[in-house]
Structure 1
Amino acid sequence: MSDAQSVWHLTRGRALTLAGAAEARRLAVARGRVWLTLAGTADAPAQDCWLEAGEAVALAPGQAAVLEGWPAAEFELLVPPASAPAGRGLFGGRRLGGR
């Protein structure tokens, strides 16, 4: 992962497991193509899909995923602002001017 750009790089032949998180997230493909497997639940089976550059998918709270670049890819994993605690800035710190 590149801290400056928040872009994850998937090299050829590498798979990555994203554990479920407490908040909803959005996985957006920046370059290449990703083969994505979304974890199933008691009510729905696991789901496989292809994502091309410019496409995104929402990950529900607690939903895990496995992805692989095909052959290589770059993606971002974003947390929507609505998931951030009120009155807190980036990384949970207080915002300037906040009380």
Structure 2
Amino acid sequence: MTDTASDIFAALAHPTRRQILQDLKNGEMAAGEIAARFDASGPTISRHLGVLRQAGLVTERRDANRILYSLVGERLALSVGDFLSTVCPEQIVLREVRKRRPAVRGAVSAEV
């Protein structure tokens, strides 16, 4: 896994990878299930999954002879949110407001 925004945005640059992330939002999927949703070859989808994994946007686990992939949604949200907060004036204002607001124990943030 990497920590660079460049890797994340490079991973998001391809429509197939964005579709894979959308497909994974509902939960874990086997590599074969993911590949079956596309006209591309299995090795091509495997390469896309590798790019997403290297960017830290998906995780994989083995279950017998299957590889199961899951979305790392919080990494995606934090990375995109951090980027937006540096370039979008509204996000900059919201970030400053959040800094001044006392943290509420157990509250869930609604950040992008």
Determine if the TM-score, normalized by the shorter chain, exceeds 0.5. no
> TM-score when scaled to structure 2?
0.28
TM-score w.r.t. length of structure 1 = 0.30
Q: Which structure has more strand as a fraction of its residues? A: 1
Higher relative contact order, structure no. (Cα contacts within 8 Å, ≥ 6 residues apart)? 1
The structure whose Rg is larger is 2
Give the number of the structure whose residues are more often helix, by fraction.
2
